[in-house]
Structure 1
Amino acid sequence: MKKFIFLGIFVFLSSLIIAQEKEEKQLTNWNGNRPDGHAPISVMGDHYHSKGGIMFSYRYMSMNMKGLLSGSDEVSNTEAHDAGYMVTPLEMPMKMHMLGAMYAPTDRITLVAMAMYTQNDMDLQMRMMGNIVPFSTSSSGFGDLKLGMIYKFLNKNSQSLHGSLNFSLPTGSIEEMDVTPMSSPNEVQLPYPMQLGSGTFDTELGVTYLGQKETISWGNQLKAIVRFGDNSNDYSFGNKYELNNWFAVKTDDWLSFSVRLQGLIVDEIDGTNPNLNPMMVTTADTTNSGGSYINGGLGFNLYAPKGSLKGFRLGFEYATPLYQDVNGIQLEQKETITVGLQYAL
């Protein structure tokens, strides 16, 4: 039901904007060569290129999770222990480096590739015989490789509509291990959030609408990630359904500011990893996965329209949760900071 609500919101907002633009009868194309010609830096697949166009990008994302939620209510680690878990997480900072490339063989098709390197750190505590033992685990390495394409449906009257189709290849490890107080000095397999990849072949479908006026722009993007089959450890991460809406103001030829609202639904993990004990730690219990989220973001884009830096774009966004409703007991999401540099040829 929530998926249809997201789709309805997207169609409604897009219809209003299209109707408004048609009334004004603007004859110019949507223009990507301005600071707000790209979405906030955290939004992927927001634009395409003309025939022969090439773009390289680098993004750095830092996300933090701290404290526990049960549904939308805060709970203590003591309450999580009392629910039957020997180990509960305290905090999980995650850092991700993303390298991307785009090439347009035609005016309608833009090919896309993205690789990422992730570093996960988690602080936890173990309750054993009345004592609290703190410890930490970590994992790092390359994640899943994404390949795909963007198809331009239209670009006229200062509006643009395009679709995207991406395939995620399971190149990231799902066998990450580390030492815990119970396993020392041996390593054990880490729970689901600490793995670097999905282990499955995933498909990402998206549609993006863009609109512009002289000093403002806006966009709506609906996206879904669908998993196929189970991985070699007999589980698959939940499907994701995402709606992004943003609005930007161009204050100069080189600077714009943006505000973004995101709705996100994540399904529960399907299956279970036989190497994990779901009563040992909350993150090894698949009932503690998935949920519904609303996030807000503020950011800016710097763009070089001419000179020696022509084609460079620097983006920044600070995002924070506005609403969270998780399944079971999970870490509470906190702030996410994304910084990116893009260079178009």
Structure 2
Amino acid sequence: MHSYTGASFMKYFKYIASFLFCSQCFAQSTPSELAEMSFDELFFIDSSPSASTSPWTLGYAYKFAEYKGYLDGDSSLSNDEVLWEPGNEPRTSDNFPVVPTVITQEVHTVSLAYEISPQWQVSLLVPYIRQETDHISIVGNYETFVIETDGLGDITTQATYRWNTGSAETWAIGFGLRLPTGSIDEEGDTPRAPGDQELPYTMQLGSGTYDFPLDVMYKLSGKHQITLGASANIRTGTNDRGYRLGNNYKLTSQYSTAISQRVDVFGGLSLVYSDSIHGQDDALLIDSPFPYPASITNPDLYGGKKVNLNIGLLWEATNDFYLKLDINKPVYQYLNGPQPKENWTGAFSLTKKL
């Protein structure tokens, strides 16, 4: 799976250490943004020669995330602490009549890549999103309720350029355009008013803006493979609902090694940062001194910092067919809260040369 060399692992340890412990290295990820995938997440095939001469690669990725419990900064809060109880406590900006208890999100992404040359690759990524949120509230007939949305997400076109700086070293840059094809007008039955109303930001399927994903990646191949990456998703303008999701930034480091001829195991850390939402959707407000009926309707209670631990394996099933499994678990989160915290994220990916 790799072209092994005698390059020393310790030679690069200082670069990894400085990357992992950088005080400003944080990035990405709110519940509504799970579908944003860097090119290295989808096109993870090693740059070693393939048995196939086809320039086409077909990919499929499935991602699942669960959000449960609350954080304000790095302080944990229970659902009862976030739920406002009239008569027992005053209403404040930190408690709410409606509280999401569990948020789950699934993304199915189909990708098609074309290799223009050994250096250049272009790709198209099409996500399908399904989201479900369980709630508790103080409103009659809505003590517990569930809201679901599903549909097409934001389609991404991307170009990747790779070049080798040595027999075992590879650099790659990626840049693209994410199109606002996902709905931002999803509605559902909530306690806010009779009938269906506009749903909060976490339940929408797209950003509603033209966004620009950017990626840089360095890979040292060998018996001990090191990958370092940086990515950003830069958003532009304001969508039709009057807001713009926050920019996302991410730094990653990964170590992998072969345990057999066709299987690699890997582990690493990602340091992520996400801005809060700019502007707001006024349809989510209620006529009250405290206009936000739930924390997920307040645009200031989005974004924050996370450190994620990642482990997984890559299996070269055949010369042109790859399977990848990985699990991400936050080991530290500092969120603009009260905000639902991420419990874990899992991913399953396949790629096949056509």
TM-score (norm 2): 0.81
Q: What does 1:40-119 correspond to in 2, within 5 Å?
A: 43-44=41-42, 53-82=55-84, 83-119=94-130
- The offset of 1:44, in angstroms, is 4.3
Which residue of 165, 169, 185 maps to 1:159?
A: 169
In the TM superposition, residue 182 of structure 1 has moved relative to its aligned partner by 4.3
Whole-angstrom CA distance in 2 between matches of 1:76 and 1:132: 20
Structure 1's 187 and 195: CA in aligned 2 closer, same or farther, altered over 3 A? same
Structure-2 separation of matches of 1:139 and 1:65: 16
1:178 aligns with 2:176: no
Q: Indicate the residue corresponding to 1:244 in structure 2.
A: 252
Mapped partners of 1:208, 1:47: distance in 2: 14
Which residue, out of 302, 326, 343, partners 2:335? Answer: 326
Correspondences of 1:271-310 after superposition (within 5 Å)? 271-277=279-285, 278-304=291-317, 309-310=318-319
CA distance 1:11–1:87, shift in 2 (3 Å): farther
What secondary structure, in the 3-state scheme, does the structure 2 residue paired with 1:43 have?
helix
Q: In 2, distance between residues paired with 1:242 and 1:11? A: 20
Give 1:41 deviation, angstroms. 10
Partner of 1:35: none
**Higher alpha-carbon deviation: 272-281 or 41-50:** 41-50
Structure 1 residue aligned with 2:266: 258
RMSD: 2.6
Give the distance between the partners of 2:246 and 2:39, measured in 1 at CA.
25
For residues 200 and 47 of structure 1, do their structure 2 counterparts lie closer, same or farther at Cα, with a shift above 3 Å needed?
Answer: farther
Letter in 2 for 1:310: N
For 2:152 and 2:188, the matched residues in 1 are separated by 17
Instruction: Indicate conservation of the 8 Å contact 2:139/2:191, yes or no.
Output: no
Please tell me whether the aligned partners of residues 98 and 116 of structure 1 are also in contact (alpha carbons under 8 angstroms): yes
**Aligned partners of 2:278 and 2:45: how far apart in 1?**
33
Quick one: structure 1 residues 108 and 48, their matched pair in 2 at CA, closer, same or farther if it must change by over 3 Å? farther
Q: Which amino acid aligns with 1:242?
A: K
* Mapped partners of 1:11, 1:171: distance in 2: 42
Rounded to whole Å, the distance in 1 between the matches of 2:220 and 2:158 is: 24
Q: 1:197 aligns with which of 186, 194, 206?
A: 206
Question: CA separation of 1:301/1:340 partners in 2, compared to 1, >3 Å: closer, same or farther?
Answer: same
Letter in 2 for 1:216: H
Determine if the alignment matches structure 1 residue 210 to structure 2 residue 219.
Answer: yes
Change (3 A) 1:56 1:81: same
Contact 1:169 1:202 in 2 (8 A): yes
Point out where structure 1 has 5 or more consecutive residues left out of the alignment.
1-9, 18-39
Give the Cα separation in 2 of the matches to 1:178 and 1:161: 46
Matched positions, count: 307
Match of 2:89 in 1: none
2:55, 2:211 → 1: CA distance?
A: 27
**Paired residue for 1:145?**
155
2:135 corresponds in structure 1 to 124
Partner of 2:5: none
Contact 1:57–1:99 under 8 Å retained in 2: yes
Cα distance in 2 for residues equivalent to 1:262 and 1:236: 24
Q: Specify the alignment match of 1:169 in structure 2.
A: 179
Q: 1:234 to 1:12 in 2, by over 3 A?
A: farther
The 3-state SS of whatever aligns with 2:138 is strand
Q: Is the 8 A contact 1:41 1:338 kept in 2?
A: no
**1:53 to partner: Cα distance:** 2.5
In 2 relative to 1, CA 168–286 (structure 1 residues): closer, same or farther, beyond 3 Å?
Answer: same
Shift of 1:260: 1.9
* CA displacement 1:186-224 (0-9 Å, x = unmatched): 1111100110000000001111000111x2211011001
- For the 8 Å contact 2:81–2:95, the answer to whether it is kept is no
Question: What do residues 39-97 of structure 1 show as CA deviations (whole Å, max 9, x unaligned)?
Answer: x9983455686896221110111110111111111112232234341111100011110
Structure 1 CA distance for aligned equivalents of residues 295 and 183 of structure 2: 21
Q: Which moved more, 1:81-90 or 1:157-166?
A: 81-90
3-state SS of paired residue (1:275): helix
Q: Which amino acid letter does the alignment assign opposite residue 101 of structure 1?
A: L
